Chains A and B, each alone.
Chain A
């Protein structure tokens, strides 16, 4: 009797000791802060329920538009360039493959402030390439290029998007069997036909899930655009930080509403990513 009640007690204590800290940690430092944002986005100064801050998000339309444009364009660029590079590298020699693998691991992690400065040294108004062009009689800043606007940011983001694409897509490209290509060629398919009717349809779920991953990756980027534009270009993460640091006269609830908007976008990204990879699993039986 005593023994079994002792075991009942112990059967709860051990899991609590092993698993409890992780669950408590995630609850306290991830779930509760997020719920707090949800709460404050929906309540006014006196604590009553209101939708006005969420409706106020319409005023931040430009931030969402810029963020979506930047994330979409850089994800598309990353998907295309990274995808083609991955394919070319996969069919190349082994030594090149391991070099590219190592470099993409580094470049995908080389982001934020240092990346911004690397591009300032390259294409900033005193950057090396800018000066070269100038000596050749071409003032790219006069021609409307700016590293500190959307086109510049897309170019900078590509520096971590392309390597990330390489890392994510390589397993899928390695999974393309040689026999499929040979079979298509044996039936008289041109390379273009092979890609249009065999290769791309097989890769499509992987490409789609990689694209949304890249999109989310760019959407949540903060350090890179902050270091490049000092908070001048309106992007969702930048607007949130402006509210937090008191750079703009906005209620904290506006920041909370922006953050909720961001969670919704990232949640959709994650959902789509999961759906695409589930489809992939069914397809490949992996």
Chain B
């Protein structure tokens, strides 16, 4: 039993380690038996790498901001005044599972042909990214706000003369840091790796760039794969460290 258990775990471990090692080896390959950092050096001179990485990062930050801006007030109000809404919000936040990215992009491109200033800029992607992140952001914030004694905090703040703005920005948000950081990191991980929308709507984000470079430069693609793994790793470590909630599935499959 002990031996069987070690063998099983060992095989599973190998299955997860080998692709990472192989990618590392492959990224150093320079043809024949030569190995070195040529692939990495070549990447540094790819302007598109930096522009796509920057674009993805910008989109990720905007996605975080928009998600928080529409979710925090709604979930706050639900906990404070309308707990009956919870069932309804739970359903809404699960909808992106039922309508997966490839279906949503089909629907959005059928429904929104314009306006030009919106659909022709890559920042349009922020909208579907917020939708894709919704199940995770909603749950993280719901748990975070549920753990606060919102009623007491609100009554205390308001009895001292605080308006809604003061209440939210100076009382609720500072008490919600853990949930905010968790939601933000999950969203960043999702947005940084997102491929479906960007590929179909023809915007060159980081993931689209990796796919593009993989068609002609396999060693560079391997190097970027490792970079992408590191980004995911950093984001998830942040999520795990920022709170006790489980770091769950993203949306980049």
Q: Is B77 an interface residue (CB 8 A)?
A: yes
Mostly helix, strand, loop or mixed at chain A's interface? helix
Give A30 to B23 CA distance when docked, in angstroms: 37
Q: Determine if B247 and A122 form an interchain contact, defined as CB atoms under 8 angstroms apart.
A: no
A22 in complex: contacting residue of B18, B71, B98, B246, CB < 8 Å: B71
Q: Determine if B106 and A244 form an interchain contact, defined as CB atoms under 8 angstroms apart.
A: yes
Residues on B with beta carbons closer than 8 Å to the beta carbon of A21: 69-70, 73-74
Q: Is B100 an interface residue (CB 8 A)?
A: yes
Residues on B with beta carbons closer than 8 Å to the beta carbon of A158: 15
Q: Is A217 an interface residue (CB 8 A)?
A: yes
- Within A93-120, the residues touching B (CB, 8 Å) are 101-103, 105-114, 117-120
Q: Determine if B95 and A121 form an interchain contact, defined as CB atoms under 8 angstroms apart.
A: no
Give A100 to B187 CA distance when docked, in angstroms: 22
Residues on A with beta carbons closer than 8 Å to the beta carbon of B35: none
Q: Determine if A263 and B229 form an interchain contact, defined as CB atoms under 8 angstroms apart.
A: no
Q: Is B22 an interface residue (CB 8 A)?
A: yes
Q: Determine if A241 and B102 form an interchain contact, defined as CB atoms under 8 angstroms apart.
A: yes
Residues on A with beta carbons closer than 8 Å to the beta carbon of B69: 21
Assuming the contacts A117-B23, A224-B253, A227-B211, asked whether A34 and B232 have C-beta atoms less than 8 A apart, the reply is no
Q: Determine if B196 and A222 form an interchain contact, defined as CB atoms under 8 angstroms apart.
A: yes
CB of A252, distance to nearest CB on chain B (Å): 7
Q: Is A127 an interface residue (CB 8 A)?
A: yes
Q: Beta-carbon contacts of A201-220 to B below 8 Å, as 1s and 0s? A: 00000000000000011111
Q: Determine if A114 and B225 form an interchain contact, defined as CB atoms under 8 angstroms apart.
A: yes
Residues on A with beta carbons closer than 8 Å to the beta carbon of B81: 15
Q: Determine if B107 and A223 form an interchain contact, defined as CB atoms under 8 angstroms apart.
A: no
A221 in complex: contacting residue of B21, B134, B207, B253, CB < 8 Å: B253
Q: Is A32 an interface residue (CB 8 A)?
A: yes
CB of A171, distance to nearest CB on chain B (Å): 8
Q: Is A233 an interface residue (CB 8 A)?
A: no
- Within A235-256, the residues touching B (CB, 8 Å) are 237, 240-241, 243-245, 252, 255-256
Q: Is B3 an interface residue (CB 8 A)?
A: no
Q: Is A283 an interface residue (CB 8 A)?
A: no
Residues on B with beta carbons closer than 8 Å to the beta carbon of A19: 73-74, 77-78, 82, 85
Nearest residue, chain B, Cβ from A261: B103
CB of B136, distance to nearest CB on chain A (Å): 10
- Within B211-245, the residues touching A (CB, 8 Å) are 211, 214, 218, 221-222, 224-225, 228-229, 232-233, 235-237, 239-240
Nearest residue, chain B, Cβ from A130: B22
Q: Is A259 an interface residue (CB 8 A)?
A: yes
Q: Determine if A121 and B98 form an interchain contact, defined as CB atoms under 8 angstroms apart.
A: no
Q: Determine if B104 and A113 form an interchain contact, defined as CB atoms under 8 angstroms apart.
A: no
Interface size on B, residues (CB 8 A): 83
**Which one of B43-51, B125-133, B154-162 contacts A?**
B125-133
Assuming the contacts A88-B5, A244-B109, asked whether A109 and B236 have C-beta atoms less than 8 A apart, the reply is yes
Nearest residue, chain B, Cβ from A21: B70
Q: Is B20 an interface residue (CB 8 A)?
A: yes
Q: Is A29 an interface residue (CB 8 A)?
A: yes
Assuming the contacts A117-B222, A167-B248, asked whether A103 and B16 have C-beta atoms less than 8 A apart, the reply is yes
Q: Determine if A226 and B199 form an interchain contact, defined as CB atoms under 8 angstroms apart.
A: yes
Give A37 to B107 CA distance when docked, in angstroms: 6
Q: Determine if A81 and B12 form an interchain contact, defined as CB atoms under 8 angstroms apart.
A: yes
Give A26 to B218 CA distance when docked, in angstroms: 40
Assuming the contacts A117-B222, A121-B23, A266-B99, asked whether A29 and B195 have C-beta atoms less than 8 A apart, the reply is no
Q: Determine if A220 and B100 form an interchain contact, defined as CB atoms under 8 angstroms apart.
A: yes
Nearest residue, chain B, Cβ from A160: B253
Q: Beta-carbon contacts of A152-166 to B below 8 Å, as 1s and 0s? A: 000000111010100
Nearest residue, chain B, Cβ from A81: B12
Q: Is B184 an interface residue (CB 8 A)?
A: no
CB of B43, distance to nearest CB on chain A (Å): 14
Known pairs A102-B240, A220-B100, A259-B107; list 8 more (Cβ under 8 Å). A29-B131, A33-B110, A110-B228, A120-B218, A128-B25, A160-B253, A167-B248, A241-B199
18 interchain pairs, CB-CB under 8 A = A15-B81, A25-B70, A34-B103, A85-B8, A85-B9, A106-B232, A108-B250, A109-B236, A119-B19, A120-B218, A127-B26, A219-B100, A220-B100, A223-B252, A226-B199, A241-B102, A262-B100, A270-B94
